[in-house]
């Protein structure tokens, strides 16, 4: 696996909400950029640095990579500032993604929080394209407030799609919001028709994932059918440096997606 970034061109830039940008990246060499849902890349801005960013695009679209980034630090700010026509370095796709085969014949419940909707968007698009191979499909999404809903217009479209059940929760809302206000876990029991025949994929802040996994577990979803996208400080992205170690796992190589039983006890160890 190469440590040398591959040059990509920013083909399209969309400001999703203040401080959060989606970039459509096209390989400069004209080659393909295939990936599996749940994988990530290392995005490199020369003289600034490199960060791990999950892929948020449609896995059937292999001529480009779509990545959604929130500007939170120097590197992510530099990535977000890239304009259409500028170049960026990309390593990857990297890591182990969502176990989509495990969802076949089952009710796939996707639970996302905040910008954690970006890493689950590829598996959601995969599920919509393969809907007849699933017994059910639900998206439970929680975020801070109505103005912080990621992919808002697309979410509206998903809400009116009979193939998909969508439940959205915000932590607080002002006048005009008619949806749910509360914690995202409030909505989990309402989408579970047959817990033992459910596969859950969860992505968001770690505390939210912990409570979501506990709620799914309490409702009877088998722990091994709950999958979480974990996040640590990824540096090399290929399991060499150990920066993203979580107990016995190197998240960049063994994850970022891991089954709940693999991480349940580790999430309670705050030194990790």
- Which residues contact another protein (rule: CB under 8 A)? 19, 49, 51, 70, 72-76, 113-115, 142-144, 148, 171-175, 177-183, 186, 190, 204-205, 207-208, 211, 233
Planar angle of CA 211, 237, 128, nearest 5 degrees:
55
Pick the closer one to another protein by CB: 134 or 168: 168
Pick the closer one to another protein by CB: 105 or 182: 182
Q: What are phi and psi of 203, to 5 degrees?
A: -145, 130
Pick the closer one to another protein by CB: 117 or 164: 117
Closest distance to another protein from the beta carbon of 179 (Å): 7
Closest distance to another protein from the beta carbon of 173 (Å): 5
Closest distance to another protein from the beta carbon of 167 (Å): 11
Pick the closer one to another protein by CB: 6 or 70: 70
Report yes or no: 135 and 106 within 8 Å, Cβ to Cβ: yes
Closest distance to another protein from the beta carbon of 142 (Å): 7
Pick the closer one to another protein by CB: 148 or 245: 148
Report yes or no: 225 and 102 within 8 Å, Cβ to Cβ: yes
> What is the rounded end-to-end Cα distance, in angstroms, of the chain?
27
Cα–Cα dist 41/56, whole Å: 11
Closest distance to another protein from the beta carbon of 184 (Å): 9
Report yes or no: 197 and 211 within 8 Å, Cβ to Cβ: no
Q: What are phi and psi of 267, to 5 degrees?
A: -70, -20
């Amino acid at each position: 696996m190469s440590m040398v970034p591959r040059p990509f061109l920013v083909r399209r830039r969309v400001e999703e909400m203040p401080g959060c940008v989606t970039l459509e990246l096209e390989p400069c060499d004209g080659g393909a950029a295939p990936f599996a849902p749940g994988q990530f890349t290392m995005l490199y801005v020369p003289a600034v640095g490199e960060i791990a960013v999950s892929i948020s695009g449609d896995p059937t679209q292999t001529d480009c990579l779509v990545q959604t980034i929130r500007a939170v630090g120097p590197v992510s700010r530099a990535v977000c500032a890239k304009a259409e026509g500028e170049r960026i370095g990309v390593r990857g796709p990297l890591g182990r993604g969502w176990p989509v085969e495990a969802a076949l014949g089952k009710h796939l419940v996707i639970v996302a929080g905040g910008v954690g909707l970006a890493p689950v968007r590829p598996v959601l698009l995969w599920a919509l394209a393969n809907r007849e191979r699933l017994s059910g499909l639900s998206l439970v999404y929680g975020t801070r407030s109505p103005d912080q809903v990621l992919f808002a217009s697309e979410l509206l479209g998903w809400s009116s799609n009979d193939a998909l059940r969508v439940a959205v929760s915000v932590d607080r809302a002002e006048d005009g919001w008619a949806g749910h206000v509360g914690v995202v876990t409030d909505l989990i029991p309402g989408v579970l028709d047959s817990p033992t025949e459910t596969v859950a994929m969860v992505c968001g802040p770690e505390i939210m994932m912990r409570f979501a996994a506990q709620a799914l577990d309490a409702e009877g979803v088998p722990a091994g059918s709950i999958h979480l996208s974990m996040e640590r400080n990824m540096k090399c992205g290929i399991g060499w440096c150990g920066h993203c170690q979580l107990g016995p796992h190197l998240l960049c190589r063994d994850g970022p997606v891991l089954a709940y039983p693999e991480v349940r006890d580790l999430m309670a160890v705050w030194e990790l």
